[in-house]
Amino acid sequence: MYKKIFTIAKNTFTETLRQPVYAVIIVTALFLFLISPSLAMYTMGEDNKLLREIGLSTLFLASLFIAIFSASGAVAEEIENKTIITVLSKPVQRPIFIIAKFLGVAAAVVLAHYICTIALLMAIRHGVQLSANDEPDWTVISTAAAVVTATFLLSAFFNYVYDWNFSSTAIVLLSMFATLGIVFLFFIDQNWQFNPRNNGINALDVYGAVLLLFAAIIIVALAVAFSARFNIVVTLSVCIGIFLLGLISDYTFGRFADTQLWARIGRFLVPNLQIFWISDAIYESSEDSEITVPLKYIAISATYAVCYTTAILASAVALFQKRQVG
């Protein structure tokens, strides 16, 4: 059983990385991270806080769309193209198929989220230039340029010599070089000095990205569940609707939960994505007193995400059991 799950999940992960929309969303997110310091420079003293919120919003939306399109491509398209018949005739039980597809798509989302998180940390490390006299952080700029250049050249080389898929190779290499880049920036400051205590990388931003990853995993499970019964258009619409409801769950359902039955049901069915968003902590922080996210809160949020994901996958398995695929 575990071998079947691993094989299907691995193939799903590989095919997801080869999807053009996967690379397009990542490139778009990286471009938004690149220009985010310029977008956040027109506030009254809250520039860097706005930069962090824009960055986390971009990270959240990128993970959302990657999850939806990847899950739809992994499940719905296989059903429409009838290629799923070959898989299920091995034989592979339907619950194993759904779980393996979820794990493959989730791994692809984790990889994309990881790359975008490093880009976010680089953008925040550079910060907003508050005046014309401020010097750009050439350490960050040079490191980012080196990462992108090395990724592009090596991907082109492997594509030309070994005929490897360019986009999937570039994504994997980008994750590797980006890791080396952020480790380098952890130790080297703006003046190219060894100064890990003043590296501009904040634990709050890392915790915020981790919490958003939990929310993205819930969205992956939702996308897999709906794509097991519906096409990509319906899956996209429903997942975006649940995503928006989840962001305003306390306002939509929470204030009526004590008196209205429909609000209690809605609060139970719709995942509360507000618990993964740390905007309040960002704006309450200052240079003198930095708000931190307790590890206990992260553990509780992770447990919440695991419970919701498990329940959604159980529903997905039930929905897929009676689905006609022949």
Q: Which pLDDT belongs to residue 280?
A: 67
Distance CA 175, CA 208 (A): 19
Residue 31 lies in a domain: yes
Whether pTM > 0.85 for this model: the answer is yes
Q: Taking a C-beta distance cutoff of 8 angstroms, is the pair 29, 59 a contact?
A: yes
Q: Residue 312: which of 214, 218, 216, 213 has the closest Cα?
A: 218
Residue 252 lies in a domain: yes
Q: Which pLDDT belongs to residue 159?
A: 94
Q: Which pLDDT belongs to residue 199?
A: 81
Residue 263 lies in a domain: yes
Residue 76 lies in a domain: yes
Residue 326 lies in a domain: no
- Ranges of residues in the chain with a pLDDT under 50 are none
Tokens of 102: 């979820």
Distance CA 309, CA 306 (A): 5
Q: Which pLDDT belongs to residue 97?
A: 84
Q: Which pLDDT belongs to residue 302?
A: 94
Q: Which pLDDT belongs to residue 295?
A: 86
Q: Tell me how many domains the chain contains.
A: 1
DSSP state of 260: -
Beta strands in 30-176 (DSSP E): none
- Domain coverage including residue 23: 2-321
